[in-house]
A and B are shown apart, each in its own frame.
Chain A
Amino acid sequence: MAAMSALAMAFGAPRIAAAQNEAAHSPKAAPGKTVTDETGRRVAVPPEVKRIVTLAPDLTETVYALGLGERLVGDTEVCDTPAAAKSKPHVGTPVSPNLESIVALHPDLVLATTSINRRETVDALRHLGIAVYSTDPHTVQGMLDSLAHIAELTGAAEPGTTLVAGLRARLDALHARLADLPLVHVLFVIWEDPLITIGQNTFVADALRWAGAESVIVSNQNWPRVGLEVVLELQPDYIVLTSDHQKAEGTESGDLKKRPGWKDLRAVEVGHVVVISEGVDRPAPGLVDAIEELAHVLHPEAFKEKKENGKVKVENSPWANTTARCSSEAPACAL
């Protein structure tokens, strides 16, 4: 029976496929390198990475920031930063990418991240003999480390070092200004209904600290769902929203004022509702832009000497135009 023999092939297939792939790579395996990724898995990376597929928007942004946009052969449907990423072939969503589409793109390296991709996706790709490097950033420093790792893997170590140093310098400058100021207590809203916020082990919580703020919710879960009552009890100084699901700041704070529960929050009453760029949700270079943006809103006094005509003007201010974060003056996006 042909069906039976075909089925029999299927049983042995994964191992054979892996073996065959090893064989295919063995001639060039010598100059390639084996590294351990951030989740502790061994990854054999070819010496020269020419075809990259990214499985998350922050990874896409990172690849572009390293000046490797041309080597990116595929990304996900939600990769929108920079705009050029939208026109790359898509392999589906980060949570359920299409493995066949990835195979068809012949990637040397697939980049994944624990913050959005499934473990099963990574396992399945590795099973097929495709090199997958997973990042696992939990802090802003972790983001910089991941950036450096990806830079090294892809042979872009030099631009990587420059990029990381630049971002680090901006963070240090921010720290120098904010170190002596008290932390502002904020409620960071990932989603409004149901209310989902951040736990203290996320890079967002760390980003808040860099911006001189602290989440009022303390949780070991990464994205805890909380009741509005808890927030009413804690009365945060500011409500921080991101722009990806609420476009304009004006409508948003006005909107909250009309909502039962929300309107009783002191922060909403006095208009302490901040909408910052969605970069804060992504462990990529744009995160530093978002941190600076937030710091300027929460701690205007620290930047006072730079204020003119009521407009914030800070030297090296790449976040000034947040809708076009990847403008040429942003070192993160120097391509």
Chain B
Amino acid sequence: MGQYHGKMLQRGTRVRPLTPQRIVAICGLLGAVLFVVVVFSLRMGAYPISLRDIVMTLFRGAIGRRDEIPSDFWLVVFGLRLPRIALGILVGGALATAGAGFQALLRNPLADPYVLGLSSGAALGAMLSLMVAPHTAGVIQAGAFVGAVATTATVYFLGRRGGQLDSPTLLLAGIISASFLSAAIMFLGTTLSGRDQRGMAFWLMGDLATPPTVDLKWLYFVLLVTLGSIYTTSSDLNLILTGEQEARHLGVNVHRVKLVVYVAGSLLTGLAVSVGGAIGYVGLLVPHMMRLLFGTDYRLLIPTSAIGGGIIIVLADTLARTVVAPTELPVGAMTALAGAPVFIYLMRRRVR
């Protein structure tokens, strides 16, 4: 595993030295792509609005002249599409960064919150918390976080063989945990009324159509703080990936770095699952795309994954709500369609 990352790391860094200017430039570029995707997504939907009307609505909204916007445009753009896009960016950024973090923490390029069973753990935690204290703001998020932390610890423990993290064992531990947790979720689901069951089924497939019960502002606040704390470990992660022993010799507090990534990754997973359900493969797909594009340096990989995750989820969700319009698909179905083949490709490439 270390070799895999190490090789990629060398290839990435040798091309051009990574300066802060370069990080800002690449992130700015991705930000521009995200902006284009957001405008594209704002344009698409069952309610026909021209690009010109979208721009006018956004502009008038931004300068506070709301009364000049036709009420339909206001409802569709600011009431429906923009909140959903904002939620998508949040969920995508959280999952992709969590994926990048876990890939370093577990030294396994196939690590992903969904594959490792963390999403299922977060979902079970959220569900239990809903049963214990329904209709309390923030309780789903707390439950999802606890579920993700507990599952990470379990999978980490089960994935060890002879005191060492063993890649196939780790993946098997994740898959088995996920199926066990899914069974527990189904079992708990029978106690819900029909109406809640339908909502739960949607949520488990990954669904952004439902506005969260907690203000998006707070969720974004948690996201940015967590991203920041993972980012502070990025130089150390680069060293850890070349080998823990070597990193320790170079003065890296390996234990502390791992703890930060572990807690932050679980928090990001819990955050994403609590509002968007179990959306799979984003944490796998996005960091690998970013590695291919910009190299494997974690100082660049963490921010680009965060933005790239937003881009991918907004695109996937735009497809999910338009391909079979007026009916909507869960966004998780879209990411799984794209993500599962990539997972297989990466797995086969590693075996060779």
The interface of chain A, by Cβ under 8 A from chain B, is 1-3, 5-7, 9-11, 13-14, 16-17, 20-21, 24, 77, 90-93, 95-101, 103-104, 106, 114-120, 123-124, 127-129, 221-223
Contact = CB atoms under 8 A, between A and B. Distances in A.
A128 B85 contact: no
Interface string B229-259: 0000000000000000000000000000000
Contacts of B16: none
A10 B82 contact: yes
Nearest to A223: B194
Contact of A10 (B74, B85, B210, B327): B85
A3 B71 contact: no
Nearest to B198: A118
A128 B83 CA distance: 12
Contacts of B216: 10-11
Contacts of A95: 198, 202
A103 B328 contact: no
B79 A17 contact: yes
B135 to A, nearest CB: 11
Nearest to A128: B79
Nearest to A130: B75
A123 B46 contact: no
Contacts of A124: 209-211
A129 B76 CA distance: 12
Q: Is the interface of B mostly helix, strand, loop or mixed?
A: helix
Contact of B211 (A3, A14, A101, A117): A14
B34 A118 contact: no
Contacts of B193: 222
Contacts of A2: 35, 58, 62
A5 B72 contact: no
B6 interface: no
A3 B196 CA distance: 35
Interface in B295-352: 321, 325-328
A101 B47 contact: yes
**Top 4 nearest A-B pairs by Cβ distance?**
A98-B326, A10-B82, A92-B326, A13-B78
B61 A100 contact: no
Contact of B217 (A11, A91, A100, A104): A11
Interface of B: 31, 34-35, 38, 45-47, 58, 61-62, 66, 71-72, 74-76, 78-83, 85-86, 89, 190, 193-196, 198-199, 202, 209-211, 215-217, 220, 321, 325-328
Contacts of B82: 6-7, 9-10, 13
**Most chain B C-beta atoms within 10 Å of own C-beta, residue among A10, A103, A114, A116:** A10
B76 A103 contact: yes
A71 B51 CA distance: 32
A6 B45 contact: no
A118 B199 contact: yes
B78 A9 contact: yes
5 contacts: A3-B38, A11-B220, A20-B74, A99-B209, A100-B45
B328 A127 contact: no
Contact of A98 (B46, B86, B202): B46
A223 B321 CA distance: 29
A91 B198 CA distance: 18
Contacts of B83: 10, 13-14
Contacts of B327: 77, 92-93, 96-98
B230 to A, nearest CB: 21
Nearest to B81: A100
B199 A6 contact: no
B83 to A, nearest CB: 5
A127 B47 CA distance: 18
Contacts of B45: 100
Nearest to A97: B326
Given A17-B78, A20-B74, A128-B80, 11 more contacts: A11-B86, A11-B217, A95-B202, A96-B328, A97-B326, A98-B321, A98-B326, A100-B47, A104-B47, A118-B199, A127-B211
Contacts of B321: 98
Contact of B62 (A5, A92, A118): A5
